[in-house]
Amino acid sequence: MKTLLLYKDDDRNLTHQKLWNEDALVQDLELNILFKTMSGGDEFLLDMARKGIFSGMYCDRETMLYRQDILKDCLNNSSLIRHLYQITIDSIESWRSNLFSIFTSRPSSILSSSRGMMKIFVKILKGLRELADQQSGGFNSEGFKRLFITLNTELTDEYFIQVETHLEELGFPDGILVSAGLGVGNKGRDYILRKVALKKRSWWQRIFPKKMTGYHFRVHPRDESGLKSLSTLSDQGINQVANTLAQSNDHILAFFNTLRSELAFYIGCLNLYDRLMQIGEPCCFPQIDDPGQYKHTFVELYDACLALSIKRKIVGNNLSADSARLIMITGANQGGKSTFLRSIGVAQLMLQAGMFVPAESFSANICSNLFSHFKREEDSTMESGKLDEELNRMSKITDYLTPDSLVLFNESFAATNEREGSEIAAQIVNALIESRVKVFFVTHLFEFAHSLYKEDAVHEVFLRAERKADASRTYKLRKGEPLPTSYGIDLYNKIFSDE
């Protein structure tokens, strides 16, 4: 059985290939806060949360919408999904409790353990089928509907009757019947387990059984050598059926492992959603546009990681930047520019993973790659200066750049003087735009920002962190011309004021 809750026509799980810049994105966007919230302290959920978030960089629009519909069902049936996830955990834990069977090569031990495990699996599968029968009406997504249809189609009453009959037969209540031929040196070969018809005997037949016919012999209870030889013959006969039953258990276990992995991602989404709701922050399912559309329009977008960190509602921002290829952000220090940039990156990852987005409404196009170029501390080994380090990272990014990528710059190339930094930044940004790359750029380089503003290009949007007359910050970004100051004097007065 295939679960198919992450990919519509593919039963692969979340063992995605790690992005080359994955660790940089985690650091720059502070994603560990997001992953921790999704995990709820569970290491498996933590791993699936990270894999699920970054798997979106390999998804197409159809897969993103497919996951959105499944997640909507999860939100509408939260308790049931958590119960379903617990079923998968219980089934795997039951298998682990029977792990001793893998440490023996004796077919009789393997058969006994596999038979016991299959009985447990049958009980769990019956509960799963019953859940599908009772609850399928509350689900609308293609993924869950198909899963429930699969459970109802393949886990029929006839199937369970057949499995239970086979398990009863494999208990060999009437003994084991094995046929074999003679090989070289009169050694046995071609051992075949024969089916013994299960016959119900009356009480009279049990007390006075018929005499045995044909050739036979009995092994004395104290004949250890004879008993060992008889056991070896028995193992030869049941070896194939023992392996077959063990493989059947493995198939069922693989189903539960896959279902657990896929549900783990959605459980993480539920944990995140519940926490954001407790804080009072809005969430929405975004509109997803195809690559190359240059869409970015949203209402009250906020940095989910910051909200989770300080555990209270934070200021959101609005933007209408459809067709824009460059969004330049300038303005006062401590005005929310970096926070806004992180919110863009986090929202893009969540959108492409098929999740909800931290905003009241959100619309954006798919990006083929996501890159972050945030300022770093100077190289502690002193092998290179800060500007060299920035340029080296930029060079690495260009090795992986593709059309329709999204690059987030945070105060990049400011490690040199204004003129040189502005020239470097301008050349890089112009090259990216010409290569069909969308850019969000936070900067204090006035010469760089103002030179682009004077071009009055229709595909550029300029935002400025708002500062009130009393020097207070609203943490709102408004469209506006870059100013030749970042109001660093405000910070000086805040720190060294006598008040």
Q: Which two tokens stand for residue 483?
A: 């100013």
CB 432 within 8 A of CB 394: no
Same domain? For 386 and 371 the reply is yes
Q: What is the CATH number of the domain that holds 418?
A: 3.40.50.300
Band (pLDDT 50/70/90 cuts) for residue 42 is: very high
Domain end among 221, 244, 278: 278
Same domain? For 430 and 291 the reply is yes
Say if residue 229's pLDDT is above 60.
no
pLDDT single digits (tens) 374-410: 988 765 554 667 888 999 999 999 999 999 999 999 9
Band (pLDDT 50/70/90 cuts) for residue 62 is: very high
Average pLDDT over residues 54-75: 95
CB 48 within 8 A of CB 264: yes
Average pLDDT over residues 50-55: 94
Say if residue 178's pLDDT is above 50.
yes
46 domain-assigned: yes
189 domain-assigned: no
Band (pLDDT 50/70/90 cuts) for residue 113 is: confident
Domain end among 211, 243, 278: 278
Same domain? For 256 and 339 the reply is no
Range of the domain at 339: 282-496
Same domain? For 265 and 297 the reply is no
Q: Dmax over Cα atoms in the chain, in whole Å?
A: 112
Same domain? For 314 and 264 the reply is no
Same domain? For 256 and 396 the reply is no
CB 388 within 8 A of CB 410: no
Same domain? For 36 and 161 the reply is yes
What is the separation, in whole angstroms, between the first and last Cα of the chain?
70
Domain end among 215, 243, 278: 278
Q: Count of domains in the chain?
A: 2
149 domain-assigned: yes
289 domain-assigned: yes
Average pLDDT over residues 230-244: 60
CA 157/CA 161 separation, integer angstroms: 6
Lowest average pLDDT, out of 100-109, 330-339, 385-394, goes to 100-109
**pLDDT for the residue numbered 227:** 47
Lowest average pLDDT, out of 95-99, 209-213, 360-364, 375-379, goes to 209-213
CB 1 within 8 A of CB 255: yes
**pLDDT for the residue numbered 18:** 86
Residue with the larger pLDDT of the pair 155 and 167: 155
**pLDDT for the residue numbered 349:** 98
5 domain-assigned: no
Same domain? For 326 and 422 the reply is yes
Average pLDDT over residues 305-321: 96
222 domain-assigned: no
pLDDT single digits (tens) 279-295: 999 999 999 999 988 99
Q: What is the 3-state secondary structure (H, E, C) of 394-407?
A: HHHHHHHCCCCCEE
Same domain? For 133 and 271 the reply is yes
Q: What is the DSSP letter of 97?
A: T
Q: What is the residue-averaged pLDDT of the chain?
A: 84
Same domain? For 256 and 122 the reply is yes
Same domain? For 439 and 382 the reply is yes
**pLDDT for the residue numbered 94:** 83
Say if residue 66's pLDDT is above 90.
yes
Same domain? For 52 and 129 the reply is yes
**pLDDT for the residue numbered 299:** 97
Say if residue 473's pLDDT is above 90.
no
Residue 84: how many CB atoms within 10 A of its CB? 22
Average pLDDT over residues 75-90: 94
Average pLDDT over residues 294-317: 96
